[in-house]
Structure 1
């Protein structure tokens, strides 16, 4: 993207649909651990899915990088329905969606407080038996059995 094109990009208000970006603007995720900051776009709810095999350790160990977690789950060849659904999501011509990490989901809740409801899976594993979720009703973070079903809200990054 050329500098003139970058200057013309208008970032919408938090909670508004970001035209052409595949969802609503969920805010800016600050730079962490040497990674650049980015704008988070929250896609449509895809339904309820199991997280993945109950009792199995997974390669999804990051609390902050959902993209890395999702790719690790997909590339492992395991059965991770929530991550697969997020990874396969396509909107507005974008196919770079992923299951957000626990910190990304919490940041979205902070920014969208009161605009969404229900429990949503993160891509962050807690143990062989549990993964983290965020309740959008109140921002409560907890872990749930991987064999249970929670909502999946895929996200993607916009780096400016």
Structure 2
């Protein structure tokens, strides 16, 4: 893309017109995943993460898109990932449940603008998955049967 065609994101925390949510900042490249802009969708409600006691294929701490697709394609019952995956906004249907590192990046960038407990797509064990507490910035493993908020994200590559 030439500089004339380069799209500039809005200020962090502002709605990004036509992109399905608010601009949550830039996710730096990590472990072979290129950097990208994060767009945070609206809160979808409270959902369970998935079956307590079952190992899932969602083990990445950095790639929520890969985790969400792995959960959906596994055929298991993963309500939080399913809700995020089905979300559509502004004509975009590529939302997913963010990974633990993506949630932390969102907290760093939007500190004070979000509240409550929100699920990540990152499994901790057969019984637990990571949740993010947006008030204090803590990430904890929560029982997969608990109902926490779901905030889907999508990537904008430039």
- How far apart in 2 are the matches of 1:4 and 1:78? 44
1:64 corresponds in structure 2 to 62
Q: Number of residues paired by the alignment?
A: 158
Kindly report which structure 2 residues correspond to 1:115-126, keeping only aligned pairs within 5 A, or say none. Answer: 115-126=113-124
- How far apart in 2 are the matches of 1:52 and 1:23? 25
1:147 corresponds in structure 2 to 145
- How far apart in 2 are the matches of 1:35 and 1:60? 16
Q: TM-score, normalised by structure 2?
A: 0.97
In structure 2, stretches of 5+ residues that fail to align are: none
2:51 corresponds in structure 1 to 53
- How far apart in 2 are the matches of 1:100 and 1:6? 28
Kindly report which structure 2 residues correspond to 1:1-160, keeping only aligned pairs within 5 A, or say none. Answer: 3=2, 6-7=5-6, 9-160=7-158
- How far apart in 2 are the matches of 1:122 and 1:6? 33
The alpha-carbon deviation at position 36 of structure 1 amounts to 1.0
SS at structure 2 position matched to 1:67 = helix
Instruction: Calculate the aligned-residue CA RMSD, in Å.
Output: 1.0
Q: Deviations over 1:11-50 (max 9, x none)?
A: 1000000000000000000011122100000000000000
SS at structure 1 position matched to 2:130 = strand
SS at structure 2 position matched to 1:137 = coil
